[in-house]
Structure 1
């Protein structure tokens, strides 16, 4: 990676997203960012960050944190596999901005691949295509996730520079399975409710699996491209 773009830590939702980012660093030699798995959802993430703050993690002076993962589209403009860089993130009537300089440097590195977007964070899974389109129109947001606003609010208050890079895994034209019951209170996934939710909506489940696999592959590829300067291969 070019020297003008130092990144201390990459935060990625635990599970498949974390594994995809880690795969991108296989065979890399030398100093690389610390890749940390974070829980899914606003409340579990906030609890995790406060615990990490007590341990002195992430909050070194002038540190830069990159948040990566997948997201859902709220607009016809963004399809499965599209790479997006957040400019800001809203939750209800509040807004937090990503670090402009950090984001601009990332964008200049991958501008032919990534779109600058406005995002929203939800405290619950948005599975309905109709609700996605309504939220996109009402809030003028392009994509949705379940962690972005919480992370921005925490790190902005601490004076840590944050950028967010995600890949779209589901569009706003089709429903995905309602997997709300599969997300535990600690932000982990419960396999049994997850399997039941997928079996109840097989077509939506198939679409979600295909979209997720596409997005995870792109996530791995863009991570490798972005951090290829670290590799001596």
Structure 2
């Protein structure tokens, strides 16, 4: 494999996504990146990143950060379990780009099928299939998450190279439960509202759980495949 500059840090939303990435790195020998659990949502993430800025975390010279996790599809082209590598993120008419060279190197290094996509970042859960399709068409976006734009804006300003690698956990053909109210102001999940939302929409909840489990397995595998790239040759 070419002697690319290794990945320094992987940022991944706390909870099941973080655990999947850690499982993917477990048992790997040699040099591996630091894995950091981040809060869910734009405002909690921005607060966390600013706090990290104070102690200089992530900002070493020539640092390379990969943001990983799951995302929702806004297009019929992307199904549950598909691996996507972001080109950019949009939010309220603004756009932030991922590092092109770093992204291209990651894309060529991964053995699995990986699609280059355009992403939308949302400050709430996009749960309606109809809204997903509408947003995908009007904004020419392929997938949606709740952290991408904030992370890119922060790291691009700081001069840190960033790539984003995610796995689709829900498609644009079916509704999922609206879990916005289950996300605390600090970016953690509140178990009681989460359970109530899932119980009120059992079919949608079952579909979300199945899709998430599929995506998390793929996330674990793609993390394991990244380790060859992470090592210094």
Q: TM-score, normalised by structure 2?
A: 0.96
Cα distance in structure 1, aligned partners of 2:172 and 2:70: 14
Q: CA deviation at 1:61?
A: 1.0
Q: CA deviation at 1:111?
A: 6.2
Q: CA deviation at 1:29?
A: 2.1
- What does the per-residue CA deviation read over 1:34-74, in whole Å, with 9 as the maximum and x for residues that have no partner? 00000000000000000000011001111000000000000
Q: CA deviation at 1:5?
A: 4.3
Given that 1:67 and 1:164 are in contact with CA atoms closer than 8 Å, whether structure 2 keeps it comes out as yes
State how many pairs are aligned.
231
Given that 1:88 and 1:118 are in contact with CA atoms closer than 8 Å, whether structure 2 keeps it comes out as yes
Given that 1:5 and 1:106 are in contact with CA atoms closer than 8 Å, whether structure 2 keeps it comes out as no
Given that 1:67 and 1:163 are in contact with CA atoms closer than 8 Å, whether structure 2 keeps it comes out as yes
Q: CA deviation at 1:25?
A: 1.1
Cα distance in structure 1, aligned partners of 2:6 and 2:225: 15
Q: Which runs of 5+ in 2 are unaligned?
A: none
- What does the per-residue CA deviation read over 1:5-42, in whole Å, with 9 as the maximum and x for residues that have no partner? 41000000000000000001111222210000000000
Cα distance in structure 2, aligned partners of 1:28 and 1:47: 32
> SS at the partner of 1:76?
coil
Q: Which residue of 2 aligns with 1:52?
A: 52
Given that 2:111 and 2:225 are in contact with CA atoms closer than 8 Å, whether structure 1 keeps it comes out as no
RMSD, aligned CA: 1.7
Q: CA deviation at 1:180?
A: 1.2
C-alpha change, 1:123 and 1:93, in structure 2 (3 Å) is same
Q: CA deviation at 1:229?
A: 2.5
> SS at the partner of 1:24?
helix
Given that 2:45 and 2:187 are in contact with CA atoms closer than 8 Å, whether structure 1 keeps it comes out as yes
Q: CA deviation at 1:3?
A: 3.1
Q: TM-score, normalised by structure 1?
A: 0.96
